[in-house]
Amino acid sequence: MAPSLLDLMEELLQSIEQRDAGDPDAPAWEASARIQRLEEELARRLHDTDAERGAVAVANVETRRPDEAFAGIA
C-alpha cells in the first residue's frame, strides 16, 4: 500500500529538517535527492487527486436532469 499524503508530507518535513541541521550521517546531496523525490511524488498525488475530483464534479453535473435546474422557478 502506498503511503498517505500525510505520511509523505511528514517524511518531506523530516528530510528538510535533517538537511538543514547538517546531519553528518546523511550527506546533503542524499537529503536533497530525497526531498526532490518526495516533492515530485506529492505533486503527482495532488494532481491525480485534483483530476479525480474534477471527473466526479463533471459526472455529477452531467447526471442532473434539466427539470432540476428549474426547480423553484415559476
Rounded to 5°, angle at Cα 42 from 9 and 40: 120
d(CA 39, CA 46): 10
The kind and range of the H/E element at 64 are none
What are the residue ranges spanned by the domains of the chain?
Answer: 1-17+32-50
CA 73 centroid distance within chain = 40
Q: What is the pLDDT of residues 14-69, one digit of tens each?
A: 988 888 887 676 677 888 899 999 999 999 998 888 777 766 666 665 665 555 65
pTM summary value: 0.58
Query: What CA–CA distances, in Å, run from 42 to 17, 32, 38?
Result: 18, 15, 6
What the block records as the C-alpha cell of 60 is 455529477
